[in-house]
Amino acid sequence: MRVLLPLALSIAMILPAFAAKTHDAPPRHHDEHSWAEPDKVVIRDLGLDLRVDFGKKQLRGSADLALTWKDPAARELLLDTRDLSIAKVLGKSGDGNWRRLQFSLGERDAIFGQKLTIRMKRQYDIVRIRYATAPEASGLQWLEPSMTAGKKHPFMFSQSQAIHARSWVPLQDTPGVRYTYSAHIETDPELMALMSADNAPDASRDGDYVFRMQQPIPSYLMAISVGDLVFRPISERAGVWAEPGTVDVAVKEFADTERMIQTTEQLYGPYRWERYDLLILPPSFPFGGMENPRLSFITPTVIVGDKSLTSLIAHELAHSWSGNLVTNASWKDMWLNEGFTSYVENRIVEAVYGTDLSQMENVISQFGLHAEMQEMAEERQVLALPALPGVDPDEALTDVAYIKGAWFLEFLEQRFGREAFDPFLRSYFNHFAFQSIDTAQFVEYLNSELIAKNPDAVTQKELDAWLNQPGIPAFATAAKSARFDAVDAARKAFLDGRKSAGELLTAAWTTQEWVRFLEGMPEVLTGQQAVDLDEAFKLTTSDNGEILQRWFPLTVRSGYFEARPAIAQFLQRIGRRKLVMPTYEALVATPDGKEFARQVFEKAKPGYHPITTASVEALLAKKP
């Protein structure tokens, strides 16, 4: 009991902005990216009945929202939508009769879409909304057969994070509201439909599919995909869905998935989602992966034949504990999702693939964070971000949430030791399971369950430095890798002219070592250096996106025009935002490069996801 007073004082000291709850300062839980009013009413269950129309690039049908009313006086239901056509809204209560309800759509906001206001004379248990999506829905991508691996059938997939679920379902599009859902999906019978739900590995392909997600999830984790998809098992509870031409290489690359699940269970408690399957998407997928529960969406760009990029699978799997199980209540606390996940990912990599790989990946991550923060405003460098009412959360997501968040947890691990910190994390995931929380709640739990038991390990000032101050604290311990020492020595020997590229001992290098080698290069190479590297290592024709992400910008800055045809092919073939944006950014630095980028983008755009398209268009629109 003696910790209660110091605990209250420490939370107020570390998070002063969170402690002051006034009419002008909403509580930390408040989500400024949603029109929903979860203090009055919340969705507890969602029932979808949708038809997939590839000809019109449209989903149409109905959404049944089962509601829990918290405010007896409330007579309005506010929902988030973006470019949805609302045909009718009905309400039903205990008498079983549907009654037509009045509704209106607010003015369209470029970031948030349109507020859907449903008015009623009394509170209804279920509200049914009949609607259709727009062909340009930001959360859906429709691919022509030519844009797929098989080239025979169309493909559609969703990307709901951060606030794109509202573009294909009218709902409370906030991570602070969790609900269960079911769905009836109709599509062409030659295509398979999947969702972030109970996909049956032996499901018959007949165009009529039913799904159920029994665990409550936030809206950004709702997902759908339809295409020429087949299944191959990895274990009893894990497997791969992919196009027929991709599935076997994917199963081979991701064969360690079950071992990863077991490792994480040993560390942090049972896997609570029954199955863990991977869906391999076409190269236009804008992210490396998306942690949709039961069915992680995965980019094919990590299939490189040597398992060197399978830490992505570790990351998406880790979300089954951090993010999916314990979720940030709003996007300003994104570090609670991504920082914890990046930390758990590294622990999985260490256990499955060894300390060398985990150390190398940590060094690469921290290097990237330092580089990104050099171009970032200080107020964006904190873990517990201030309210972001006018900022698209897609653009607000930076390496700070991922890498500074993981670094903070590594700091706690170092101070308390794994023998104390691992049980703490396990208890944290269990205590907040299937809840959405904020940073203040984490700090309170940290103080009561870890710091109170070892009060000399960490000071409140140190916590404040990690959570609320910009940059990386001066007392933080940076990651190190002995294998990178050899890489750095090889690069220096090349740059000093003591060795040609062909004389460097690189035959056993992993992807991570190549990344380190290229990231340490000067901003600009001489023409001879670029030629020497390319002739020795065939970098321009590499199939490894992580290598090309670093090599192509270097060739642009160095005036190595011989790489331009390969750059054009790469930018037109890959839509993963992380991989293509560095090259676009290098190109737009000069008028000639910007014109080249514009021409390439016009050809690439039809195969890009709307998220990647928006990022490139914003870059091209910037004035010099």
DSSP letter at 65 equals E
Q: Rounded distance, CA 200 to CA 295, Å?
A: 11
Q: Rounded distance, CA 141 to CA 285, Å?
A: 9
In a domain, residue 514? The reply is: yes
On whether both 424 and 529 belong to a single domain, the answer is no
Q: What's the CATH code of the domain at 439?
A: 1.10.390.10
The residue among 411, 438, 468 that closes a domain is 468
The annotation places the binding site for Zn(2+) at 315, 319, 338
Tally of residues, the chain: 624
In a domain, residue 61? The reply is: no
Q: What pLDDT, in 10s, does the model give residues 165-184?
A: 999 999 999 999 999 999 99
The residue among 441, 468, 495 that closes a domain is 468
On whether both 447 and 550 belong to a single domain, the answer is no
Burial class (CB in 10 A: 0-12, 13-18, 19+), 302: buried
On whether both 349 and 454 belong to a single domain, the answer is yes
On whether both 548 and 517 belong to a single domain, the answer is yes
How many domains does the chain divide into?
A: 2
On whether both 400 and 495 belong to a single domain, the answer is no
The annotation places the binding site for a peptide at 159-161, 286-291, 576-578
The residue among 468, 496, 518 that closes a domain is 468
In a domain, residue 115? The reply is: no
| Percentage of residues in the chain having pLDDT higher than 90 | 90
Tokens of 147: 């844009």
Q: How much is the mean pLDDT over the chain? A: 94
On whether both 524 and 583 belong to a single domain, the answer is yes
Q: Residues near 430 by Cβ (< 8 Å), separated by ≥ 6? A: 269
pLDDT confidence band for 147 (50 / 70 / 90): confident
DSSP letter at 75 equals -
Q: Rounded distance, CA 159 to CA 611, Å?
A: 9
Above 80 in pLDDT, residue 623?
Answer: no
Cβ neighbour number for residue 301 with a 10 Å cutoff: 23
On whether both 500 and 443 belong to a single domain, the answer is no
**Domain containing residue 456:** 330-468
pLDDT confidence band for 233 (50 / 70 / 90): very high
On whether both 455 and 491 belong to a single domain, the answer is no
On whether both 390 and 509 belong to a single domain, the answer is no
Average pLDDT (471-499) is: 97
In a domain, residue 461? The reply is: yes
**Residue type at 450 in one-letter notation:** L
Q: What pLDDT, in 10s, does the model give residues 534-582?
A: 999 999 999 999 999 999 999 999 999 999 999 999 999 999 999 999 9
On whether both 489 and 611 belong to a single domain, the answer is yes
Residue 306 three-state SS: coil
Q: What pLDDT, in 10s, does the model give residues 78-127?
A: 999 999 999 999 999 877 899 999 999 999 999 999 999 999 999 999 99
In a domain, residue 13? The reply is: no
DSSP letter at 161 equals T
pLDDT confidence band for 43 (50 / 70 / 90): very high
Between 39 and 10, the more confident residue is: 39
On whether both 452 and 540 belong to a single domain, the answer is no
Q: Which residues are annotated as catalytic?
A: 316, 402
In a domain, residue 161? The reply is: no
Q: Residues near 46 by Cβ (< 8 Å), separated by ≥ 6? A: 63, 64, 65, 66, 169, 171, 179, 180, 181, 182, 222
* Global pTM value: 0.92
Contact call for residues 90 and 128 (beta carbons, < 8 A): yes
On whether both 451 and 579 belong to a single domain, the answer is no
Q: What's the CATH code of the domain at 596?
A: 1.25.40.320
